[in-house]
């Protein structure tokens, strides 16, 4: 299994409502009622996976995530039909034709080889089954640009210059091409959410649970404190706090594909 950051479910849960909205928009486009088997790949702390029980109460749902900390937190939601386990998406497989739905939400952006995984996902679906993908597409936003720039300057670069690197994410058209070639009917789109966040330096608190975490963990403690202060100051300038909150524009990319029935 690959080495990955130690994720913090509590920090990740900050602004849970805003983080959960794209998941609801994603699964809302899955047009099927009779669902028996579901895999949520990259399930995180399980709170969003648990909402799938309301959509498909008769389904057996399996959540998989590479973070032991996230899976430990997810056990709160487990029952006889909803289970969670640690697993790496690069090593994941399922019996061909065994799944009705695969959901992968906000995780594939961490995997440079993500397009190479799509054939295995589609193969695991039964004919007529559904694959639903959502990834952040905000790599050029100030939150990320400042992070990259700062992590490549001294004294941080010695430790963090590679920690901020992330693969270029596919656009909706790439998903349409790739999944159509695999025999799917594809609905792909992008949305920019304008989240209104409350709290001091809200964008810093947001990114500490996601994109900034690998960088912060790469630094020695004394540099980590200094980096966070400098990064936070620049974020506060890029995303000014107003009397009604802090506005965070956030682009996300979606693709929902149904495997054709032969």
Separation of alpha carbons 66 and 58, rounded Å: 26
Looking at the domain assignment, is residue 253 inside a domain?
Answer: yes
Q: Is residue 3 part of a domain?
A: no
> CA–CA separation, 9 vs 12, rounded Å?
5
Residue 165's pLDDT is 65
Residue 148, in any domain of the structure: yes
Which range marks the domain in which residue 193 is found? 9-259
Residue 3 pLDDT exceeds 60: no
Buried b (16+ CB within 10 A) or exposed e, 32-47: eeebebbbbbbbbbbb
Structural domains counted in the chain: 1
Give one word for 135, left, alpha or beta, with left for phi > 0 and alpha for psi -120 to 50: beta
In-domain check, residue 200: yes
> What are the tokens at 112?
């440079």
Express each pLDDT in 69-85 by its tens digit: 999 999 999 999 999 99
Residue-wise pLDDT tens digits, 117-136: 999 999 999 999 999 999 99
CA geometry: angle 66, 178, 107, nearest 5 deg: 20
Supply the DSSP symbol for 206: H
What number is the average pLDDT over the span 104-115? 92
Evaluate whether residue 214 is within a structural domain: yes
* Phi and psi angles of residue 224, each rounded to the nearest 5 degrees, phi first: -60, -45
Q: Tell whether 4 is covered by a domain.
A: no
pLDDT value, residue 1:
39
CATH number of the domain enclosing 74: 3.40.50.150
Flag whether 117 is in a domain: yes
Whether 2 maps to a domain, the answer reads: no
pLDDT of residue 166: 67
Q: What is the pLDDT of residue 7?
A: 52
Kindly tell me if the per-residue pLDDT of 13 is higher than 60.
no
């Amino acid at each position: 299994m690959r080495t990955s950051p130690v994720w913090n479910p509590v920090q990740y849960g900050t602004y849970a409502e805003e983080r959960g909205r794209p998941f609801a928009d994603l699964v809302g486009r899955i047009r099927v009622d009779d669902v028996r088997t579901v895999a949520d790949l990259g399930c995180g702390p399980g709170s969003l996976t648990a909402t799938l029980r309301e959509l498909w109460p008769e389904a057996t749902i399996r959540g998989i995530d590479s973070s032991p900390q996230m899976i430990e937190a997810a056990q709160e939601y487990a029952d006889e039909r909803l289970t969670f386990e640690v697993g790496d998406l690069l090593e994941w497989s399922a019996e061909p034709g065994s799944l009705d739905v695969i959901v992968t939400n906000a995780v594939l952006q961490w995997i440079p080889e993500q397009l190479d995984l799509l054939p295995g996902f589609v193969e695991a679906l039964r004919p007529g089954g559904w694959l639903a993908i959502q990834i952040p597409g905000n790599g050029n936003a100030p939150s990320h640009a400042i992070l990259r720039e700062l992590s490549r300057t001294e004294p941080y670069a010695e430790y963090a210059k590679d920690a901020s690197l992330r693969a270029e994410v596919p656009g909706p058209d790439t998903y349409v091409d790739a999944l159509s070639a695999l025999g799917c009917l594809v609905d792909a789109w992008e949305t920019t959410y304008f989240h209104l966040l409350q709290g001091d330096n809200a964008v810093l608190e947001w990114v500490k649970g996601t994109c900034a975490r690998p960088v912060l963990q790469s630094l020695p403690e004394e540099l980590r404190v200094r980096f966070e202060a400098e990064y936070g100051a620049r974020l506060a300038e890029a995303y000014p706090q107003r009397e009604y909150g802090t506005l965070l524009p956030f682009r996300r990319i979606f693709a929902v594909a149904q495997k054709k029935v032969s």
